[in-house]
Amino acid sequence: MHLKKIAKKSVYLAAALAVVITGCSPSDYQPHQDPVETSSPVTDPSPSPGSSNQYDPGLMAIGERYEKDGKVESYLTGEWVDSEVAYRRPMAVMIPNNRNALPQYGISYADVIYEAPMEKCSCTRLMGIFQNYRDLEYIEPIRSSRHYFLLESLSYDAIYCNWGLAAAYVGPLLNSDLVDNVSASVSGVNVTADEAFSRDKERQELGYSLEYTGLMTIEGYNSAVARLGYDTKYPTSDYTFPLVFATDAHLAEYESYADCNLIYPGGNSNQSAPNGYSELNPYFEYNAEDRLYYRYQNGAPHIDEYNGEQVAVTNVIIKFVSGDRFENDDLGYMNFNVAGVGEGVLFTNGKSIPLVWKRDLPFDENLNYDSSVYAQTRYYDAKTGDEVILNKGKTWVCLVWDKYKTFTIY
């Protein structure tokens, strides 16, 4: 169900999710303090935009979408795609990134990829936002949900896909009317879609652990979406896009900003920080010829098994998030605040642009929905206060615990 179309309602919420939502407002946000110098409080540079289109094509960013020769500029990449694809609700798919789960199949087809630490910050997990997936037969491996990924997926009005969950922290929201989900049948999930999931027998024969053998077929996903009666298109008359892209006639150059060719979200292999990124030490290397950031991890190019190609994106965003481990949780589940106001960095066109990100949640700890709240994350230039413009193409978003902000290298 589309967030912008949900009537105001009250749904029972477990106390665990109250912990997740409480403390995420801008007034409660506490910026990370470096060991030597104290950072300044993060301030909101701009009010949230309204639901109507807020850009004029003459101002270098894509404005209202229109169809040209059967194509429309994608809300997720800004690139011209078939109109059927441009208006399709995307799916948000949970994908493991443990060393023992690699390689991943279909990851390069994601338009936006989120990466964030898992429990005890032992590794990272990915969430791919897929809109143009018709060439794929399946995506694998598929893994379980964490609440901060689910919250990020709501910015894209995506249909959320997972195999498993941290039930105490994910279940109340996942099982509410605020989320459309395609989930494997496990304890803690009310609406299930087993027709979308299966096991990869070849991986099983190769000795992969069972949790890394799950896949989701596109045919099964489409069948589940139809059976469950989910909306499959964006509400194009009033939909406000979550990312802002440059027009065909404009390159977002950011000429006055610092050059940056290498990005280490969690630090490099010479550092040892329990921030989740240290297991595979991922980094991005900028290629000025095609203006793409190529992804590396585990000491080698990050390869998609589907096409044998290295994963590459046009934009990289580091989003510093506050949070900590949930109290009295022996498994070390993380409670990252992905709403409120925080700091970050945008990398595009070989430049680094300091950011302030802002996001309000359209519901309270009891899941009372408020349609007047603008629910998508917005990114502002920390120097000018203007909303940043991304260059056309795919985007990778790294959530970095602000406790380890000083380990980030660029």
d(CA 110, CA 302): 14
Q: Specify the 3-state DSSP secondary structure of 183.
A: strand
Q: What residue type is 12 in one-letter code?
A: Y
Residue whose entry in the numeric block shows the structure tokens 């991922």:
282
Whether 259 has a pLDDT exceeding 80, the answer reads yes
Tokens at residue 38, please? 């104290």
42: left (phi over 0), alpha (psi -120 to 50) or beta: beta
Q: What is the DSSP letter of 310?
A: B
Nearest CA among 200, 220, 153 for reference residue 375:
153
- Reduced DSSP (H G I as helix, E B as strand, rest coil) percent helix, strand, coil of the chain, to 5: 20, 30, 50
- CATH number for the domain including 204? 3.50.90.10
What number of other Cβ atoms are within 10 A of residue 316's Cβ? 24
Q: What is the pLDDT of residues 24-75, one digit of tens each?
A: 333 332 333 333 333 444 554 443 333 333 444 445 899 888 899 999 999 9
Nearest CA among 297, 290, 288 for reference residue 259:
288
Tell me the DSSP string of 35-54. Answer: SSSPPPPP---SPPP-SS--
Q: Print the domain residue range for 278.
A: 3-407
- Backbone angles phi and psi of 82, in degrees to 5: -55, 140
pLDDT at 16: 37
d(CA 200, CA 197): 10
d(CA 358, CA 341): 5
Q: What is the pLDDT of residues 103-162, one digit of tens each?
A: 999 999 999 999 999 998 889 999 999 999 999 999 999 999 999 999 999 999 999 999
Predicted model pTM: 0.88
Tokens at residue 327, please? 């109290």
Which residues have CB under 8 Å from 181's CB, separation 6+? 159, 160, 161, 162, 174, 189, 191, 193
What number of other Cβ atoms are within 10 A of residue 319's Cβ? 25
Q: How many domains does the chain have?
A: 1
Mean pLDDT score across all residues of the chain: 86
pLDDT at 379: 97
Whether 7 has a pLDDT exceeding 70, the answer reads no
Percent of the chain scoring above 90 in pLDDT: 72
pLDDT at 13: 37
CB-based burial of residue 260 (10 Å sphere; 0-12 exposed, 13-18 middle, 19+ buried)? Answer: buried
